[in-house]
């Protein structure tokens, strides 16, 4: 059961780890160049402005710290939520459905980033080209978090984002998608806190110049669509969704019939 639930996520890890190699082998690195224009165009179309520029107009240390918190929590977040599900006996049966949902969201997101790479705002706003249109240089991957690195005299965010093989994966935002996955799979604490977490990291993503507004919307939309598809189309495990809270008892009976309760490896 655990291996089946992890299959989509394992597919994501393969594409993510070998992203540049796979693009080189398939010729996509030359055929499809990172797009710098479509995301700001969509932001202006939807929001009538560039939200990341509005939100980052007056940066300061307090806002930098508030933005850094959800970004640092992002990395252990799925593990923490799985542990929460495991030690919550009433929700232990939801582990497989959560992993299935999270895996498909990550896999679909990296496929989009693989086929249609898009530049984040920190790159689009700082990139310098010569008179022939050849790229000269740009700001650092850590974007707005470079200010915290300077204050702390560390290269924490620089090392984190400098090591990522996906430099042009702005859309959809998996930073925003992860809290959205937890939200649609029935969040811990409360739905209100789940919504707050999504809004918090969406703000942080734009304030730090890591993402456009459309990236955040795409991340939330992807999580919702995958969760609905689990209910309406296919899921090898009893689906869990905040959109069907009244079906908890029914899910429990289905879990017991399929031998998914308690959690089994």
pLDDT tens-place string over residues 118-158: 999 999 888 887 777 777 877 777 888 999 999 988 888 98
Cα(155)–Cα(137) distance, integer angstroms: 20
Question: Distance between CA 149 and CA 157 in Å, rounded?
Answer: 7
pLDDT tens digits, 147-184: 999 998 888 898 888 888 998 999 999 999 999 999 99
Residue 162: per-residue pLDDT: 80
Give the Cα separation of 132 and 155 in Å (integer). Answer: 34
What tens digit of pLDDT does each residue of 88-110 get? 989 999 999 999 999 999 999 99
Cβ distance 5 to 95 under 8 Å?
A: yes
At 198-211, the pLDDT tens digits run 999 999 999 999 99
Angle subtended by helix axes 95-115 and 2-17, to nearest 10 = 20
- Please, are residues 125 and 144 in contact by the beta-carbon 8 Å criterion? no
Rounded Cα distance, 152 and 155, in Å:
8
**How many alpha carbons lie under 13 Å from residue 214 in its C-beta half-sphere?**
21
- Give the residue among 102, 82, 101 at the shortest CA–CA distance from 92: 82
């Amino acid at each position: 059961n655990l291996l089946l639930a992890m299959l989509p996520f394992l597919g994501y890890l393969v594409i993510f780890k070998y992203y540049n190699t796979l693009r080189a082998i398939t010729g996509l690195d030359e055929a499809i160049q990172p797009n710098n224009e479509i995301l700001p165009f969509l932001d202006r179309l939807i929001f009538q402005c560039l939200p990341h520029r509005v939100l980052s107009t007056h940066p300061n240390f307090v806002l930098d710290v508030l933005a850094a918190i959800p970004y640092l929590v992002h990395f252990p977040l799925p593990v923490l939520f799985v542990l929460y599900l495991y030690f919550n006996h009433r929700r232990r049966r939801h582990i497989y459905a959560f992993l299935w949902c999270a895996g498909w969201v990550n896999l679909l997101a990296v496929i989009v980033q693989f086929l249609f790479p898009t530049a984040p705002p920190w790159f689009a706003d700082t990139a310098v080209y010569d008179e022939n249109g050849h790229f000269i240089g740009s700001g650092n991957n850590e974007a707005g978090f470079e200010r915290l690195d300077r204050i702390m005299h560390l290269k924490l965010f620089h090392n984190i984002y400098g090591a990522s093989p996906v430099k042009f994966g702005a859309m959809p935002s998996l930073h925003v998608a992860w809290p959205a996955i937890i939200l649609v799979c029935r969040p811990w604490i409360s739905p209100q806190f789940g919504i707050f977490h999504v809004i918090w990291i969406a703000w942080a993503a734009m304030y730090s110049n890591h993402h456009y507004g459309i990236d955040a919307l795409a991340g939330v939309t992807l999580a919702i669509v995958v969760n609905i598809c689990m209910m309406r189309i296919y899921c090898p495990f009893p689906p869990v969704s905040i959109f069907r809270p009244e079906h908890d008892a029914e899910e429990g009976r289905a879990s017991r019939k399929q031998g998914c309760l308690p959690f089994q490896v």
